[in-house]
Every structure is written in C-alpha cells, then in structure tokens.
Copies of this chain bind each other. A is one copy, B any other.
Amino acid sequence: MISLTTNTGGLKLESPAILASGILDENGYTMKRILDEGAGAVVTKSIGTEERNGYFSPVVAPEGSYLINAMGLPNPGIDFFRDEINIALKSGKPIIGSIFASNTDDFLKLALKMQDYGVSAVELNLSCPHVQGFGSEVGSDPVLVKDIVKNLKGTLKIPVWSKLSPNVTSISEIARASSESDALVLINTVRAMAIDVESKRPVLTNVYGGLSGKAIKPVGLRCVYEARKECDIDIIGVGGIYNYRDALEYIMAGASAFQIGTALMEYGRKVFGDIAMDLESYLKKNNVANIKELVGVAVQ
C-alpha cells in the first residue's frame, strides 16, 4: 500500500502538500476549498494583533519564472479572523495559524487565540522580508527567536512551527535558536526588488519585496539541507515547488512535508491534487511504500 501519509511537526497529514502562508488563505471559504480540492493542510495568512490594510498596489511584480511581492502583511487582526477559521475548519483537515508580531508577548497572545479558534498548529512568521519591525527583523535575532519559541512551547498545547528567512548570514544559527520548535518551515521569500525602466521607479509601492517561485528553489533546498545537517528536527520545505520532482528534491534534502505558494500562479488550486497524484505514481514505480523513506536520502 503506497502512502503519502506523513507525521510531521506534531501533525498527521494525509498528504505532505500544504498551502503556504499568504497565498489564498485570507478568506475562510478559499481555505476550505483548497483543502477540499486536495491540500494536506493550509497555513493561514499571517495574522497580527491589529487590522492592517497592507501596502498600496502594485503589491506584486510577476515574471516568467518568479514573483516579487510586497503585500505588507494585510490582515483583519486576530479577533476578526476567528470567523474565517471557523469556515475553514468545516473541511475537517488541519489548519495551521500563521502569526506575526514584534515581541514574545504578542506572539503568545496571538498563538493562544489561534489555539482557541481550533487550529492544529501555529506557524511563527519570523521571516517576512519587507515589513519594518516584523518578520525577518525579528527572525534574524537568535536570542529573540529562542525566547519566543521557548515561551510558546511552554504555554501552548498545540505544536509550534517556526518559519525562517533565507536572508541571514547563517541559517544554521537561526535553526539552532529555534530548534525547540516542532518543525522548521524553510524558506520565506528572498528580499528583492524590481525597477520599471520606462517610468524609472521601483515597481512595488513598498520598493522592497520578497522573491518567490522557481527562482528560489535552489536557495530553499540549500537552507533545508543546511538545517537538516544542523539539527534533528522536522522540516517543512517551501520555495519554488511546482511539481512532484521539485517536491522530491526537498524531501530528499530532508523535508518531511512541503508547502506551495507561487506555483498557483501557473497551475491554480489543482496543483495540490496533481502533485499528490504524481508522487503516488512515483512511489509505485519506484517501489517505495511510504514517502517517509525518502526523507533526507540525499544528505551526505
């Protein structure tokens, strides 16, 4: 019996293909649909303590093989997000609540509310590269990261995932700092920008944004591989996964599940079902009983 079932980061997933935070996960109905259509779990949009509109458009700069975005962490604030989670929960599959804050107290407050709303785990956004005071500004400070993870782990009943940034001198150092988490999620976007030559100005209203899609797969793989060698902890791979071979690269580098974001720009919501199907065929063809057997096999 071929199986894609995975236990990772304290959760049991029917499929290792998870929707990444920030893509089609603001509206409860959308999350529910994506789960119904084949994702193993969804991570919500990153939610903070207060309502934020995000940046003025343009907030995305799409290119052939990549995307740069600076949404600016739009979110209704944690209190208004309960209803969306309620809608999404009707799918019966795991919802992972992504949260962002600039200090331990706020992270704790947000995480407790998420737990209260019924999510299966929280994912700490320690890595958004384009909002001052949040994300990677927090996530590049190992002392602060350690403190946040420690406090949350000490208080929450549900698993804690830490989503890290590739925009650091040493991913190993930050991986170590967050090694009390139930899983590392690698990677968030790479800090980047684009200029419009015609109008002679940056394309994104915020100037700086995050690079995602095909272009960052080699960077994401490297971070997963480095973290795998650094600490013995579950890893969720993310960055430029478009098909089952990309997913297998991440799995062989040490990830036990993976998230998909930008590929939706090319393949739409069906990408989750398609990849799961292709992975199953691959396992069958190669006589592998469970996808778990492939985790980390390329690590030397």
Contact = CB atoms under 8 A, between A and B. Distances in A.
A228 to B, nearest CB: 12
Contacts of A65: 64-65, 214-215
Interface string A199-211: 0111000011001
In this complex, which of A65, A208, A298 has the most chain B Cβ atoms within 10 angstroms of its Cβ? A298
Interface stretch (A28-36, A104-112, A187-195): A187-195
Contacts of A222: 191-193, 208
Nearest to A223: B191
A214 to B, nearest CB: 7
Q: Which of A64, A195, A253 has the most CB of B within 10 A?
A: A195
A193 to B, nearest CB: 4
A219 B218 CA distance: 14
A280 to B, nearest CB: 15
A192 B218 contact: yes
A25 interface: no
B169 A202 contact: no
Interface residues of A, number: 38
Interface string A129-170: 000000000001000000000000000000000000001110
Interface in A64-109: 64-66, 68
A44 to B, nearest CB: 26
A248 B198 CA distance: 10
A186 interface: no
Nearest to A240: B215
A195 B249 contact: yes
A190 B219 contact: yes
A69 to B, nearest CB: 11
The 10 closest A-B pairs by CB, nearest first: A192-B218, A215-B215, A195-B249, A193-B222, A65-B65, A197-B248, A168-B169, A140-B169, A192-B222, A195-B298
21 contacts: A64-B65, A65-B65, A190-B219, A191-B219, A193-B253, A194-B218, A194-B249, A195-B248, A195-B298, A197-B249, A200-B252, A200-B294, A200-B297, A200-B298, A201-B300, A202-B298, A208-B225, A211-B218, A211-B219, A214-B215, A215-B216
